[in-house]
Amino acid sequence: MTLTTVLLMSVPLALLCLLLGLIYKGIDRRLGARMQARTGPPVMQPLRDIRKLMLKENIVPKHAVPWLFSLMPVVALGSTLALLMYVPLFGQAPLLGSYGDMVSVLYMLLIPSLTLVIGGFVSSSPYAVVGAQREMVTMISYEFPLAITIVAFAWLASVAAPGSAAFAFSTFSAVPVWSMTSILGSCGLIILFAVMIVVTSGEMGAVPFDAAEAETEIAGGLLSEYSGRNLALFYMASAVKMVVLGSVIIALFLPFGISGYAGLEGMAAQAADAGFFLLKLFAVIFAASTFPRVAVPRLRITQIVKMYWVYATAAAIIGLTLIGIDVLVEAI
């Protein structure tokens, strides 16, 4: 694929995923309200919020670093849109799949969180500084179980599909990971799937892992000083990041299409797979964002660290061990 083709396709893809992320945010808010016996906002409320924020004035704190304070929302949105080029979407291969793999996506996912941290530190607000510190601690906490999960997938691919790119999403699209293991390994994959759901919830900054914002404690934390277009850019970045994180889980654990089972071909097959992708994305977002926000209260930062460093890490190691035993048994 030529550079010109990638550029031409990246713009509509970015706009589509941005719109999709905002709509899913609206569905998430509406469904969460219904689960709490409330009416909730309209599904299109996030789009209205963005329009309203884009018309408002940007306010920069007096003692902030102005250029850095205003640059971080732009970098946040740009980095999340760039991630769309490396992740399989709508049942199709990523635009830049040959130039990036799971490791590059893993590192690029840190950029939006880092922009929040930097924006909080340079805003001169004590609430934002506390939020930035909490965000840094949360980032350090969930990276370990996430790395274990990625290593488990790469090791399994290198053993079960020798000669393939162990860290490439295309490997797991061609040979679903569930076909690489037997019952014991599948139990390990189920555990890793649960770990990825918990990690995704923390990456999204959703309740119960939203200690970095915590409106009732630190008045919005990281975003307490942001307003207008800057706040809109951060909001759009979070919407796109939600799509990216859900797509990563789908690419690793649920790469199945529906067109093959329905006997479809051509455009009909692509449309069916795209629709099925949207259903899977909704299910992942519900499991990682909607349900935890309704069912679990906000955790303290110490509880978040314990959740990731103790429970999630232990679960990831158990999942990796079960997959390792399964591979060794199959080899014998």
Per-residue pLDDT for 137 more than 80?
yes
Q: Look at residue 174 and give its three-state secondary structure.
A: helix
Contacts (Cβ under 8 Å, ≥6 apart) of 199: 142, 145, 146, 149, 308, 312
- SS3 (DSSP) at 92: strand
Assess whether pLDDT exceeds 70 at residue 6.
Answer: yes
Say how many C-beta atoms besides its own lie within 10 A of residue 206's C-beta: 20
Higher-confidence position of 330 and 30: 30
Residues 255-276 have pLDDT tens digits of 887 877 777 777 888 888 888 8
Residue 17 resides in a domain: no
| Mean pLDDT score of the chain | 85
Residue pair 284/237 in contact (Cβ under 8 Å)? The answer is no
Residue 26 forms part of a structural domain: no
- Whether the per-residue pLDDT at 330 is higher than 90: the answer is no
Range of the domain at 67: 48-331
Dump pLDDT digits (tens) for 165-209: 777 788 887 778 888 888 888 898 999 999 999 999 888 887 788
The C-alpha atoms of residue 155 and residue 189 are separated, in whole angstroms, by 13
Considering the domain boundaries, does residue 298 fall inside one? Answer: yes
Q: Is residue 25 part of a domain?
A: no
Whether the CB-CB separation of 298 and 207 falls below 8 Å is answered with yes
Report yes or no on 65 lying in a domain: yes
Q: Is 9 a domain residue?
A: no
Decide: 316 and 148 in contact? Cβ < 8 Å: yes
| In a domain? residue 197 | yes
- Whether the predicted pLDDT of 317 surpasses 90: yes
**b or e along 72-81 (b: 16 or more beta carbons within 10 Å of the residue's beta carbon)?**
bbebbbbbbb
> How large a percentage of the chain has pLDDT more than 70?
96
Q: What is the helix, strand, coil percentage profile of the chain, to 5?
A: 75, 0, 25
Is the link from the previous residue into 42 a cis peptide, with omega within 30 of 0?
no
State the Cα–Cα distance between residues 205 and 136, nearest whole angstrom: 12
Is the pLDDT higher at 4 or at 324? 324
Phi first, then psi, for residue 298 (nearest 5°) are: -60, 135
In a domain, 326, yes or no: yes
Q: What is the pLDDT of residue 22?
A: 92
CA–CA separation, 99 and 10 (whole Å): 15
Cα–Cα distance for residue pair 332/102, rounded to 1 Å: 30
Q: Are 287 and 124 in contact (CB under 8 A)?
A: no
State the pTM of this model.
0.88
Domain count, the chain: 1
Which of 291, 287, 280, 323 lies closest to 88, judged by CA? Answer: 280
